[in-house]
Amino acid sequence: MAGEGKKLEKRGAIIVGISGASSSGKTTLARLLRDIFPNTFILHEDDFYRPETELPMRDGLLDWDCAEALNIPDMTRALEHIRAEGTFPPFVNSIEDQNSIGACPVSEAKIAAVKAKVGAWLAPGQPGHALISSSPPPRICLLDGFLLYAAPSTPPSALRAVAPLLDVRLFLLVSRAQATRRREARDGYVTLEGFWTDPPGYVDKIVWPNYVESHAWLFKGGDVEAGVLDEAVLAREGILARPGTGPDVDVDMEGTFEWAADVLMRSLEEEVGGR
């Protein structure tokens, strides 16, 4: 547990990081979890992009997929507010929820089954009941972002200040092919200035190379393409990834949703039980 040893009574919310490559299903998963866990809201890393005039360039293109594109001090301030107050930061104007992520890839039957599982866990006499019966009941913030677990060497170094503010750290894997298909299928993104549409080849030139550079440290031998996670590094950093997935395996969001709900229930038991 990333937040082990921290007293819940000193915090207004438990913060759950959901990270992975662009189009790995982070926002979809966050919305699914929000709808089945009580007292839950979402904070998007994408709401902390700097203005286009401040973005760096890579290969002659604006680079939205690097740490320098983010206002990390503002994101850290927002997380500190959530940790202290348990509420969505009033100084954050979220535009990410205006972006479409397409049809939900999880069936209504699966959603109902996982929701029922969480409901049973929250019932009187069950482990999760403390989550809603404690006073005050803790809130849950789901932080979804493409760059939450960057290597220590990733500039700017201020990004490393984000990880200690996360109590649970989930990492989603996706194949390069699926990430490309999903990103290229999107119409574009609402931005501070208006609307951004990826130019041709943007995933190959910008998105995937940045992902590899920032996350190679989580993979054995630094080989992201081979897709074998370094379990020792994940254990040391408190990062949880779904067993049996990898860059050569397309995202099974139904299985990922169920896995994430199970992980979150176990993690919340530890957090609430440690009050």
Separation between Cα atoms, residue 60 and residue 268, nearest integer Å: 45
Extract the runs of DSSP E, i.e. beta strands, from the chain.
Answer: 13-20, 40-44, 57-58, 61-62, 139-145, 168-172, 189-190, 195-196, 239-241
Tell me which long-range contacts 101-104 makes (C-beta under 8 A, separation of at least 24): 101/27, 101/28, 101/31, 101/186, 102/182, 102/185, 102/186, 104/28, 104/32
Q: At what angle do helices 208-215 and 176-184 cross, to 10 degrees?
A: 140
Any residues with CB less than 8 A from the CB of 194 and at least 6 apart, and which? none
SS3 42: strand
Separation between Cα atoms, residue 16 and residue 32, nearest integer Å: 14
142 DSSP β-pair partners? 16, 42
Separation between Cα atoms, residue 219 and residue 245, nearest integer Å: 13
Residues taking part in catalysis: 46
Separation between Cα atoms, residue 235 and residue 1, nearest integer Å: 9
Q: Are strands 40-44 and 139-145 parallel, antiparallel or unpaired?
A: parallel
Separation between Cα atoms, residue 87 and residue 27, nearest integer Å: 19
